[in-house]
Chain A
Amino acid sequence: NAGVMQNPRHLVRRRGQEARLRCSPMKGHSHVYWYRQLPEEGLKFMVYLQKENIIDESGMPKERFSAEFPKEGPSILRIQQVVRGDSAAYFCASSHEREFGFFGPGTRLTVL
């Protein structure tokens, strides 16, 4: 059973471009969570999704950020018009039940 997969592992974007981060949960997991880790910081919750539904997006910036978890395919975290402050590691976790998540290796976004 493969773990949580994230791709790309590293992503470089120029200011104003769009960034799309993908997360494939572990087999059988229907809960997906996105966290962001700024340099030298702990992880901060962004959004919690179940298949086709956003359950809690209280940690998502109000603008430019969106997330989806379609019926088929990976969960996508989309950042429009990226700025330098978006540079961070973005982690996704998945779970079968809600209790705790298995984290993926992360996508490191660098905005030039």
Chain B
Amino acid sequence: SQQGEEDPQALSIQEGENATMNCSYKTSINNLQWYRQNSGRGLVHLILIRSNEREKHSGRLRVTLDTSKKSSSLLITASRAADTASYFCATVPHSGGGADGLTFGKGTHLIIQP
């Protein structure tokens, strides 16, 4: 399977609930990034977490990274209808690189029911 696989593929929850998405990867990383893509639109960079960090917060977003398990999770608290989108994790390899080295998963499609 490919680097940066999100799980679940699709998630539907009620507005106000928390949404959790997971990402697994295979090789050593320098950092891991989460992006959001609204239907038919471009990607929005949400958060970057480095390999030596375990947790990061940004507003209603909380990202964790477990390098021993090669996995990351994205938690969106108090979800809103506007959070409906596809969420992608992307990894940058330990060998370096930046936005040129991003390996994306297929994404988790999140639907927030009003």
Q: What residues of chain A have their CB less than 8 Å away from a CB belonging to chain B?
A: 4, 6, 31, 33, 35, 40-45, 48, 55-56, 91, 93, 95, 97-106, 108
- The interface residues of chain B lying within 8 Å CB-to-CB of A43 are 43, 88, 90, 102, 104
Give 27 CB contacts A-B under 8 Å: A31-B99, A33-B100, A35-B102, A42-B2, A42-B88, A42-B90, A42-B104, A42-B105, A42-B106, A42-B107, A43-B43, A43-B88, A43-B90, A45-B100, A45-B101, A45-B103, A91-B42, A93-B99, A98-B97, A99-B48, A100-B33, A101-B102, A103-B44, A104-B42, A105-B41, A105-B42, A106-B42
Chain A proximity mask over B51-82: 1 for CB below 8 Å, otherwise 0? 00000000000000000000000000000000
CB distance from A79 to the nearest CB of B (A): 19
- The interface residues of chain A lying within 8 Å CB-to-CB of B31 are 99
* Residue B94 CB within 8 A of the other chain: no
| Inter-chain contact A55/B100, CB cutoff 8 Å | yes
Nearest residue (CB) in A for B103 is A45
CB distance from B111 to the nearest CB of A (A): 16
- The interface residues of chain B lying within 8 Å CB-to-CB of A99 are 31, 48, 98-99
* Residue B45 CB within 8 A of the other chain: yes
| Inter-chain contact B43/A45, CB cutoff 8 Å | no
Q: Tally chain B residues at the interface, Cβ within 8 Å.
A: 25
* Secondary structure type dominating chain B contacts: loop
Query: In the bound complex, what is the Cα–Cα distance between A45 and B102 (angstroms)?
Result: 7
Given contacts A42-B4, A42-B88, contact A100 B99 (CB under 8 A): yes
CB distance from A28 to the nearest CB of B (A): 15
CB distance from A9 to the nearest CB of B (A): 9
Nearest residue (CB) in B for A9 is B40
Known A103-B43, A103-B44; further 17 A-B contacts with Cβ < 8 A: A4-B42, A31-B98, A42-B105, A42-B106, A43-B90, A45-B101, A45-B103, A55-B100, A93-B43, A99-B48, A100-B33, A100-B102, A101-B45, A103-B45, A104-B42, A106-B41, A106-B42
CB distance from B95 to the nearest CB of A (A): 13
- The interface residues of chain A lying within 8 Å CB-to-CB of B102 are 35, 43, 45, 100-101
